[in-house]
Amino acid sequence: MRKRAITIAGGNRVSIPSYIRAVNMARQNPETRFERGLTQWWACTGADIFAQYIEGVHDRINQAVKNRNL
């Protein structure tokens, strides 16, 4: 079985289960400051990180729709 990873800000790679745990932790703690965000290498709040996650989901959906209509 092949392990899959996601590349986040700063070129750091994390496993998908770790990524999901981190996003859930950020969502559950919106006022907590985390060392870095998903798309930014500087400190972000949990609310910022969850907003970055949602933005990424929307971007992937829109790219798939755009590529399908070509």
d(CA 11, CA 6): 9
According to the model, what pLDDT value does residue 4 have? 85
According to the model, what pLDDT value does residue 3 have? 72
**Higher model confidence: residue 59 or residue 10?**
59
Tokens standing for 11? 């070129």
pTM of the full predicted structure?
Answer: 0.80
Domains of the chain: total: 1
Task: Determine the angle formed by the axes of helices 46-68 and 16-28, rounding to 10 degrees.
Answer: 130
Looking at residues 8-19, what average pLDDT do you find? 87
What are the angstrom distances between the C-alpha of 6 and each of 30, 53, 64? 22, 12, 18
Domain residues for the domain of 32 are 5-68
pLDDT digits (tens, 9 = 90+) for 30-70: 999 999 888 888 999 999 999 999 998 999 899 888 888 65
According to the model, what pLDDT value does residue 1 have? 64
